[in-house]
Amino acid sequence: MENLLSFNTIILFFSYVCQFILWQTFAQDLPCRTSCGSIQVKYPFGSGPGCGSPRFHPYIACSPEGDQLLLTSHTGSYPITSISYTTSTMIITPPHMSTCTSMQQSPNLGLDWASPVQLGPSTFLLLSCTPPTSSLTIKGSPVCDTSSSYLCASIYTCPSVIGLGLPLFPPTNTCCVYSPANFNSKGELDLQKLKCMGYASIVSLQDYPTNPSQWQYGVELKYRSGALDDYYMDNKCNTCETSGGMCGYALPGNSFLCLCSNRINTTTDCNSYSLQNQPGLTWNSVSLPDWKLWMGFLGGLVFVGAA
């Protein structure tokens, strides 16, 4: 009788243990997102750890709330407002960047050299600089593009210039058109060294070269896919996405995974898996060999209890 009670106690205890492990697996290993807010997330981008390419994480990921895709560098986190997968470019909108409707003092903008992202062809307007901006140089070379000085005259018609401590219609010798722009050796637009209080960045004039209220503001960036990313895209990722999966990777070796909607992950695609013929099959981050060990351990204890 005592053996029967011990046997039932062991079974009950391990049923609770298995339920807890399963709950932990579902609670901690949420599936990768196909979008963050209005941004569609496709390879090589990912919404978090294990999603997309490991080269892009932790630089690019969804916000904790899931409503924004963010680029993070040593100078801050910046919302990504659009991605072009055909041209390998994206646009970020730094929260302290000035526009015609809002001008403010800005911290340095920067990118990490180790990240797969680099500065694109955006036009920067350096604002509220120590005059005259014609004297601004970097390593002895003039910074300002005088042929585009009309952009300074245009943006200085915006009433929001008072946010930078400037009077209405301030002199344009406190503004500089920095194009093409480059970051310094730290990967930053060093406003303090340039003696400017803020900046605006223009992606497009939208056919309104002298109407700053119609310009598209943002910083255009280029992203680079590595050779391994291109290999996975050409040989595995397209097939995975066609089958309804999302491309990701498994830690610690960063090997390719196809993440399926039913929480089953495979090394191929979501149509071809089976429990019998997929040695790399996983259920979230808990692989089948781990479950076999648990079942073997449970079976051994059951055998001891029954004895």
Tens digits of per-residue pLDDT, 8-50?
555 555 544 444 443 333 333 446 888 999 999 998 999 999 9
Burial 13-32 (b: 16+ CB within 10 A, else e): ebeeeeeeeeeeeeeebebb
Band of pLDDT at residue 259, cut at 50, 70 and 90: confident
Q: What is the mean pLDDT of the chain?
A: 82
pLDDT grade, residue 261 (50/70/90)?
Answer: confident
- Rounded to two decimals, what is the model's pTM? 0.77
Q: Quote the CA–CA distance of 177 and 1 in Å, as a whole number.
A: 89
Q: Is the peptide bond before 167 cis (omega within 30 degrees of 0)?
A: no
Helix (H) or strand (E) holding 83: strand 76-84
**DSSP single-letter state for residue 271:** T
Q: Please check whether residue 73 is in contact with residue 174, taking contact to mean a CB–CB distance below 8 angstroms.
A: no
Query: Helices 2-28 and 288-306 meet at what angle, rounded to 10?
Result: 170
Chain-centroid distance of CA 139 in Å reads 33
- The whole-number average pLDDT for the span 258-272 is 81
Average pLDDT over residues 147-162: 97
Q: Which of 131, 142, 149, 110 is nearest to 195 (CA)?
A: 131
